[in-house]
Each structure stands twice: as C-alpha cells, then as structure tokens.
Amino acid sequence: MKKMIPLTFLVLATSGVNATDLSTIYQQAASNDAEIAAARASREANGYNVDIARGAILPQAQASYSVTRYDVEGESASVANYILNGDSSPQSYSSDYVMQQFQVSASQALFNLNSWYTYKAAASVDDAYAAQLQLSEQNLLLRTAQAYFDVLRAAENLATAEAEEKAVKQSLEQTRQRYEVGLIAITDVQEAQATYDLTYVNLLSQQAALDVSYEALETLTGQRYDDLASLRQNVAMQMPMPADVQQWVDSGLDKYAGIQMAEAQKDAARLQRDATRSNHLPTVTLSAAYTRGDSAPSLNSYPTDANSKTIGLNVSVPLFTGGSLYAQTKQSASNLAVADYQLESQRRSVKQNVRSLYRQLQTSVQNIDARRQSITSAETALKATQTGYEVGTRNIVEVLDAQRQLFSAQSNYANARFDYIINLLNLKFYAGTLNEQDIQLLNSWLES
C-alpha cells in the first residue's frame, strides 16, 4: 500500500527560501496600488477647498493701472464770444493727451454669515475626506491580506488536487492490474476511471484558480510573483480579545472610519443648511480705495493731476429673489436629512457586520479543531479500507470514497484556517482597529 504524503509537506515543498512574504507585498501595494493612490490624490485636492472657502472671509485687495490716449477734434459755440462779439458760429478745436490712473482698493467683510458657514462646511468636508482616506488605507490592508491568502488558499487546494489525482491514478492502475489477472470485474475499472476523470477535471480547475489569484495580487502591486511564504502549521488560532462582542461593537461605533466620514458629512450638511439660511440676512462690507492719476479734461484743456481717498461701509439686504433663497433653504434641509439617514445606516451596518463576523470567527475557531481531527479520522478510515480492499472485503468504490474523504478533510482544514484569518481582519476592519501591526502579526505566522 502506498503511504500518503502529508498535505503540509506538499505545500511547503513549493515554497523556496526566497519566497515573498505578506509584509513585503503590503509595502509594494502601498506604493503601487492605483486605488489608494487615487484616494490620496483626492484627499489632497479636496483639502484646498478649505483655503478657497476661507478666502471669502479674509481681506481682499487689488491694484489697477490704466493708460488711455485721446485724440479729440470737434466744434463748439462759445457763449462768451457771442456776448462780446455777437458771433455765434462754432469754433473748431483739437486736443491730444494721455490719461494715466493708478488705483489700490481693499475690502473686508464685517458680517457675512453665508461665507462663514460655507467655510466651516468646507472644513467638515475636509474631515470627511480625511476619514475616507483612512478607510481606503485600512481597506488596502484588508485587500492585500485577502489577495495574499487567496493565493495560499488556491495553492493548498491545488496541492490537494494534485495529491488526489496522483492517488486516484495509482488506484486506477492497481485496479486495471487486478482486472487483468481476473480478480475483479470490469465495472470496478470503469468506476475507478470515472473517478479519475473527475479528479483530473478538478485539478485543472484548481490550476486555473491559482493563476487567477496571482493575477489579483499583481493588480495590487503591479508586480508578478512566483512564490509566496506559506502559512505555518503550528499557528495558534484563537478568539481575539476582548471576549465580549459588545466591546467590539462599541469600538466600531467609535472608531470605524466609515462612521467618522458619515458624521463629518452630516456636520457639513448642517453647516451648509445654516449657510443657505443666512442668505436672508444682511451683509456688511468695509471698503477703501486710493486713486492717483489724471482727471478728465474740459474742452480746449488738458488733464490735471488728481488724488483721491475713499472709505465706505456697504450694507446689503436681500428683499426678493423670486423664491430661490427659500428653495435653497429647503433643499439644504433635505440634504441634512439624507446625511442623517446615511449616518444611521452606517451605524446599523457596523453593528450587524461586527456581530456577524464575531460569530463567524467563533465558528472558524471551532472548525479548525474539528477539521484537524477529521483528517486523522479520514486517514485511519482510508488505511482500513485499503486493507480491506487488498483482502477482498472492500471494493474499489469504497477505497476511492475513502480517499476523497481524506483529501476533502485536508482541503476543509486549510480553508478553515484561511477563513479564520479573513474573518479576523474583517472584524478588526469594522471595529476600526485594523492597522499595519496586524500585517506584521500575520507575517509572523508565515514560514521564514
């Protein structure tokens, strides 16, 4: 009887000393992932909106300079010439001159609640984009780990499929030999052949799945990998602390970046509502100007130098705008209601996700222990079935079923361990505590 090769050995045999680990891939993803790069650029671009809105409440100043050349020709009747000489005929005149003028003006809003609330709303929107960037960064941690362990999952499934194909093929060859010497019927050979065909199809499917998982990892980093560090077998996978699910829920409600972003968006909507309401109020602006230049000439004369200084206070009160201000106020109130509902939706989603993931994590921990024991049981059952087949008390179908049970147990055990890791990361993500230290922890679980 052929001795079964442990799945652990098959997986580790494919990992060389130069295998890339999770920490290295995360650093490459942080530098090359297009999604996180776009999030950072969006955060930077929207940060300037605060400076733009602040400008409306700060002093404004401008300077202007103009040069105008005049070439004037015309006729006019002189009243004095008519009185003295009785001549009322028009007199011709011409004038060529250049007028220059320089002006400096400044203004300061003394009372403009719309500009003030618009500025505060822009600051809240900036907080929302900061939370969105934090959410994107945590999501990158999650996506990187998911893609990495998807590759390891696919690699272990492929190793199981290869071992199963090899074992079933050997059983098929043994069945043919027993048939050729007349120990069994042709139906046993046909059963073995059908099982092998299905096993081979599964092998091809697992090979494709591994290629696809590598492609997903390449999308994150822009680089191709041939070998990844595998997960150690002796990792203790237990429930994380704290052991109370309500503490995880409270952490999510307080720290989850999605909720923080929704809260900032609600604050921005409230301030924008206040800004539109203040459009009904008066605005007060202080202005001053200094002008130096030429004054406009009269007929038959030239411009003269003139300086002027002005200072003024402007008060403006909107009286009627055709109902547009009222509509804007109602619209901003509705936008605030939308933001409030979205915040409540985020809170409910976090509660549901945290509780669900905590329960899934409990199930994963229990599954790991049960799946490990099932491998031992399946190995014992396979040995007994093979022994019975050799002495003629068991048939080939039973042997193949026992082999299938063993490889299924090995695959389920591997998947249970990966499910635990992904559920743990998702729980920390919705609790708002996922950070690079979690990547370092997972990296310590890998083969060095």
How is the chain split into domains, by residue range? 7-60+112-282+322-444
pLDDT digits (tens, 9 = 90+) for 221-280: 988 988 899 999 889 899 999 889 999 999 999 999 999 999 999 999 999 999 999 999
Q: What integer is the mean pLDDT of 172-187? A: 86
Give the separation between CA 226 and CA 342, rounded to whole angstroms.
Answer: 44
The answer for residues whose C-beta is within 8 angstroms of residue 297's C-beta and 6 or more apart is 95, 97, 303, 304
Q: What are the two backbone dihedrals, phi and then psi, of residue 219, each rounded to the nearest 5 degrees?
A: -60, -35
In which band, very low, low, confident or very high, does the pLDDT at 304 lie, cut at 50, 70 and 90? confident
**Listed residue (304, 306, 303) closest to 292, CA to CA:** 306
Half-sphere exposure of 28 (CA within 13 A, CB side): 18
Whole-model pTM: value is 0.82
| Separation between Cα atoms, residue 272 and residue 266, nearest integer Å | 10
Percent over 70 (pLDDT), the chain: 89
Phi-psi region of 222 (alpha: psi -120 to 50; beta: other; left: phi over 0): left
pLDDT-based confidence at residue 92 (cuts at 50, 70, 90)? low
How far apart (Å, rounded) are the C-alpha atoms in residues 99 and 80? 29
The secondary structure element, H or E, covering residue 250 is: helix 245-255
Q: Is the pLDDT assigned to residue 99 strictly greater than 50?
A: yes
pLDDT above 60 for 386: yes
What amino acid occupies position 298? S
List of residues 6+ apart from 229 with CB closer than 8 A: 15, 19, 20, 21, 22, 446, 447, 448
Tokens 């499917």, located at residue: 205
Phi-psi region of 432 (alpha: psi -120 to 50; beta: other; left: phi over 0): left
- Closest C-alpha among 207, 233, 235, 214 to residue 25: 214
pLDDT at 181: 85
The span from the CA of 71 to the CA of 54, in Å, is 46
Banded model confidence at residue 71, pLDDT cuts 50, 70, 90 = confident
| Integer angstrom CA distances of residue 339 from 31, 251, 271, 344 | 33, 22, 12, 9
Which structure tokens are listed for 447? 């083969």
Per the CB < 8 A criterion, the answer to whether 444 and 402 are in contact is no
Q: What is the pLDDT of residue 17?
A: 54
The topology (CATH level 3) of 7-60+112-282+322-444 is Outer membrane efflux proteins (OEP) (1.20.1600)
Give the mean pLDDT of 183-193: 87
